[in-house]
Structure formats: C-alpha cells, structure tokens
Amino acid sequence: MTFELTKEYLEHIQLAIEERDETTLRADMAELYPADISSILYELEPDRAHYLLNLLDQQVGADILANLDPAVRLDLLETFSSAELAPLINEMDSDDAVDILNEQPIRIREEVIALLEDREQARFILDLLHYDEDVAGGLMQKELVKINVNLTVNACIEEIRDQTEDVEKVYSVYVVDDADVLLGLVSLKRIVLARRNAKIADIYTRDILFVETYRPVEEVAEIMQRYDLDAIPVVNVQGRLLGQITIDDVVDVITEQADEDIQAISGLSGEVEEDDNIWARSRVQLPWLVAGAVGSLLAATVINGFQSQLSKIAALAAFIPIIGSTGGNVGIQTASLIVQSLADTSGLSTTLSQRLLRAFLVAIINGLVVGLMAGTYTFLIGEPRLFWVVGLSLLAVVMLASFMGTITPLLLNRIGINPAVASGPFITTANDLIGIGVYFTIAELLLAEV
C-alpha cells in the first residue's frame, strides 16, 4: 500500500518527538520505506529531523541522508556533530559519501574521515575527493567486483564472495590484469555455467564500454542511455580500473539536466524550489521578467510609431495579440525541437541548410493555415480590407519565428552557451518585437491609400 503523509499522521509524529517517545517512533518508522521517512523529514524542523534520523538503523539512515534534497540535507547536517555523521557516512557508497562531505566545511570533512571505522571507506573517499563533481571521476563509486584474468572459475567465485561483502549491488564482474588494467568483464551467468577449473581468460568478454575519469558527466549519461547500461567502468589514462558509475547516479544527472533545461526554457536564471523564500524566488525570476518588460516597452514604441495607421483603422489593434502570441509560440516550439536534437547525438547529424529548409517548409504550411483562418475571421467581423494584412503578416511572422527558433539555439551551441536558455522569454520577446514591426509595415504598404 502506498504511503500518504497526512496532516494527522505528521502531528502524531511531531507529538511523539516532543515527548521523546522512542518506542512509538521506532515502531512507526519500521513500517515505512526510506523514501516515506524522507517525506516526513522534509516537513520537520532540522532539530526534530535530527532526533528522528538518529533513532533509525544506521543503514536506513544513511540511505535516507544520501537521497535527501541537498538544500534540506545541508540544513539538517548543521545539527549533527562529526561523531554523529561519521557512522552514517561509513554505511554509504563512496560516491554518495563524497557528495555529502563536499557540502560540509573542510574541518567537518576532515573530522568525519578521521572518525570512520572502515579505513577502506576512508581511502575511497580521499581518492574521490580529488575529482570535480562534473566529470566521471566525481560521479563514480569505488565499490565494485573485480577479478584477475589468471584466476580459475572456482577461485573467481571465492573472490566474488569476499568482495561482495562491501558491494550493495553487483552489476558486473570486471576482469583486470596484474597491474589492475581493465581487460573486460564476465557475466555471473557465464561464471555459473563454466567448468570450475576453466580459466577466466577463456570466458570473459573483451569488447566493453568504459569512460575515463575526465569525461564530462553529460557524456557518461548519454553513453549509458544509448547503450542501455546498468553500470559502466571508469579508468584512468593508463587504463587502470578505478571505479564504476551506476545507473542510479546517471538518473540523477539526467533529472538535474532536465530540471535545468525546464528552468532555462521558463526564463529562470538559477535553481528555485516551490518552498524557497520570497527573495530567492524573486531573484531567479526577475532578470528575465525585466528583459521581457524591456522587450514589451520596445514593442510599445513600435506600435506608437504607427499611431496614424491605428487612428485610421482602429481594427488593426484587435489583431496585435494574435501576431505576438503566434510568433512566440512558433519560436518556442521550434527552439525546443532544435535543443532536443542537439541533446540527442545518437542519430545522423543534420546540416544547417537541412534544418533551415525543414523549418521553412513547416513554417509555410503552418503560416498559410493560421493566416487563412485569421484572414477569414476579418470577413466575419466586417473588416474584409484586413484579409491580406492579417493573413500575410501571420505567414511572415511564422516564418521569421521559425527561422529565429532554429538559428538562435544553433548559434548559442556553437559558441558554447547552453542552447536551452534561448528558448524562453528571449525568443518570445524578440518575436513580439519583430512580429509587430512586420504587421504594421505590411499594413502600411497594403493600406497606403486608406
């Protein structure tokens, strides 16, 4: 049955915490999954969340802490001493442990590492702290199963038994030489089916995918998505096996990238959460709102320059909204498709001329349909003289918006700027400005004798 956090249940937990009713809290938490307990922690004050987390089994507490939202976790860990944090770090995979320790002050980080009972874990953490978080080395975990190529299957099984004590999930069994250089991998199925005296050298797979420690995490995520991998080994420049990156960490990277793109497309200049304070939310929304307001003021200036046309034919003003909204919608739609194609490099590459030709043909079809529909509406409201003005303006606006939606992300990508930022208010505002200018220019040309 799916857990649902209700107001009544939350009040029950808070009361038990206030009364320090450990028996009730332990019994209640024993019935919940770690993800369910996390939803409760999000609703508690840091000191109360601290008390509840300390009542849990250390492995459960470590799993919860590793998957908490970083902002919430940062506040929560301010209530922890180094001695309280160390046992939880001791139970984590090395990559999760490093992520958490990187969020802490240097003094806390060093104290926790010194207090770790598992010295191998401490060594793993020290190794990983050298890597930036945006490269494969910073994403990998040191826990894995590796065997020497010279072993027999029987010896390999014993080695796997010894190593899996510290490995939560066995995705692959990697094969290395005496210098720990990665040679390939062998599946558990082949090990089980092979004769006990068979050599690993005779049954392992040599053709495998791997990444170097310096590879960007985006590239790692793309490789694992494309080839449907549960894990991928990480090597140094000499080819020595250093660790592995698992699918759960890649999902986090993909999710983070998607969130960033959505926020960029929405016109947010930084990370923001629904429950952030008022200033934080305003700070990330305001830059693009100001830019949009400036664009709208420029559009108003353009409209003001055609006051003589508006004074003669007031009905022209009625079609300004459809000109602006159509251009904005087309621009965002086109840019979104371009950004998506840039992110997916698994298919055949498309040249600029091919992209522009495709956008041009689509724009003609869409522009003719929308223009004809709007032009027909001018007859229905008794303004037949605006048929060609509105129809041609919408056709021109759709074509220009398609061009901008295509070329802007490509140019930004060429100069090394995230193309997702081009799909938000920037394109909408630019299309408003251009669209209104085109609309009144066509009106002035076609209605010159009016």
User: Global pTM?
Assistant: 0.62
Q: What is the pLDDT of residue 343?
A: 61
Residues of the chain with CATH 3.10.580.10: 145-246
- Contact yes or no for 367/398 (Cβ under 8 A): yes
Q: What is the pLDDT of residues 322-334, one digit of tens each?
A: 887 788 788 777 8
Q: For the segment 263-316, what is each residue's pLDDT rounded down to a tens digit? A: 555 555 555 555 555 666 566 556 666 766 676 677 677 777 766 666 667 777
Give CATH superfamily name and number for 278-446: SLC41 divalent cation transporters, integral membrane domain (1.10.357.20)
Is-contact 116 89, C-beta < 8 A? yes
Task: Tell me which of 271 and 383 has the higher pLDDT.
Answer: 383
pLDDT in tens, 155-191: 999 999 888 877 878 888 999 999 999 999 999 889 9
Report residue 363's pLDDT band, with 50, 70 and 90 as the boundaries: confident
- The domain 7-135: what is its CATH number? 1.25.60.10
The helix or strand, by DSSP H or E, that contains position 117, with its residue range, turns out to be none
- What whole-number distance in Å separates Cα of residue 243 and Cα of residue 51? 35
* The domain made up of 145-246 is a member of CATH 3.10.580.10: yes
pLDDT band at 153; cut points 50, 70, 90: very high
**Backbone region of residue 54 per phi and psi (left: phi > 0; alpha: psi in -120 to 50; beta: other values):** alpha
pLDDT band at 4 (very low <50, low <70, confident <90, very high): confident
- Residue ranges of the chain that CATH labels 1.25.60.10: 7-135
What is the mean pLDDT of the segment spanning 348-373?
81
pLDDT band at 140 (very low <50, low <70, confident <90, very high): very high
Highest mean pLDDT among 1-5, 45-49, 439-443: 45-49
What per-residue confidence (pLDDT) applies to 202? 93
All CATH 1.10.357.20 domain ranges of the chain, comma separated, are 278-446
Which of 330, 344, 343, 333 is CA-nearest to residue 419? 343
